[in-house]
Amino acid sequence: NAGVMQNPRHLVRRRGQEARLRCSPMKGHSHVYWYRQLPEEGLKFMVYLQKENIIDESGMPKERFSAEFPKEGPSILRIQQVVRGDSAAYFCASSRSQVVHEQYFGPGTRLTVT
Amino acid sequence: ELKVEQNPLFLSMQEGKNYTIYCNYSTTSDRLYWYRQDPGKSLESLFVLLSNGAVKQEGRLMASLDTKARLSTLHITAAVHDLSATYFCAVDGVRYGGSQGNLIFGKGTKLSVKP
């Protein structure tokens, strides 16, 4: 059973470009969570999605950031007009249910904005 | 504001020594999670503590939870080099209006075990 998959693993964007990060949950998992990790910091919750629904986006910046989890295909975290401060590692996790201790983390996407 | 504080943030140990990492949190959560992260890697779940007084052990690591004191500890016994990593504790943010799955992480304790 493949784990949570994220791609790309590394992404370099110039300021002002768009970044698209993809997350494929584990088989049978319909709950996806995105977290951001700044250098030398812990992870910070961004958004929680179920298929076709955003359940909790309390950690998402109000502008430039959006997330979706369509009926078919991976979850996507989209960052428009990236700035240097967006440089971070973005992790997604998935679970079969809302039971938190069942969250499994992907390998992360490391975004660098130049 | 919900806070999760770990200390120390940096820990350099000699092999064979014992030490404890502390995790204090400001919520009334009765669930706490410990993760390990190697440099450039993802998070590996170590322990899930689901009730007051819970104690779990795996190899040289032992975690405990005191919900009344809002304190969890991660104790390292006879450290070895392979334990070098960053250790995070986390609580769920649901009591602060967040959903289940909204994990609140500490800043991490960077552990270096030297021969």
Q: Which residues of A fall within a CB distance of 8 Å from B63?
A: none
- DSSP letters spanning A47-72: EEEETTEEEE-TTS-SSSEEEE--SS
Q: Taking CB atoms and an 8 Å limit, are A42 and B88 in contact across chains?
A: yes
Roughly how many angstroms between the first and final C-alpha of chain A, as a whole number? 37
Q: Strand B10-14 to strand B109-114: parallel, antiparallel, or no bridges (unpaired)? A: parallel
Q: What is the pLDDT along chain B (115 residues), one digit of tens a residue?
A: 778 999 999 999 999 999 999 999 987 777 899 999 998 888 999 999 988 899 999 999 999 999 999 999 999 999 999 999 999 999 887 655 556 668 889 999 999 999 8
Banded model confidence at residue A108, pLDDT cuts 50, 70, 90: very high
Q: Taking CB atoms and an 8 Å limit, are A42 and B105 in contact across chains?
A: yes
Q: Which of A23, A40, A41 is nearest to A32 (CA)?
A: A23
Chain B contacts in chain A segment 79-108 (CB below 8 A)? 91, 93, 95, 98-101, 103-108
